[in-house]
Amino acid sequence: MGEINIKLYNPEDGWSCTLDALQLSDIEFELRSNHLWEESLTYGTIIQVVEKQEPDNSYVLKAIRKESDFYTSRFLLNSNTDQSKLRMIGDEIMELGGYWEVVFGGYAIVNIPKDSNFKLDERIKSIMG
């Protein structure tokens, strides 16, 4: 099975989204991106779903099978952020086996392996001008 985009729906909270995920079985996925505001659905989390539902082929979230092995940090970038240095930090995070993304042009979500001693706060402060 491979990496795909899944449409995910949570009827309890009334939200839906599309996330990158690695399909582990017909009903289990390992998330490869982060939900914007649902803090339990982050990179590396394994979820269980109910098979695709009509009319839009969304999977209904059933349970979290395994929490992520990554610390997740979220923060707003300011207009003075040095973008080239941000990309360098992102490359270092990826080399550690982590993940990072910037959405809406200034909202950063970073996933760092729990066994890493990477000093994210210090590094981000140094590039925020």
Q: Are residues 76 and 123 in the same domain?
A: yes
Model pTM above 0.85: yes
Q: Pairing between strand 107-113 and 99-103?
A: antiparallel
Please report, rounded to a whole number, the percentage of residues in the chain having pLDDT higher than 90: 66
Q: Are residues 80 and 59 in the same domain?
A: no
Q: Are residues 37 and 92 in the same domain?
A: no
Where does a domain end: 19, 46, 66? 66
80-103 average pLDDT score: 93
User: For residue 77, what are the domain limits?
Assistant: 70-127
Q: What is the pLDDT of residue 54?
A: 67
Q: Are residues 56 and 81 in the same domain?
A: no
Distance of alpha carbon 109 from alpha carbon 98, whole angstroms? 11
Count the domains in the chain.
2
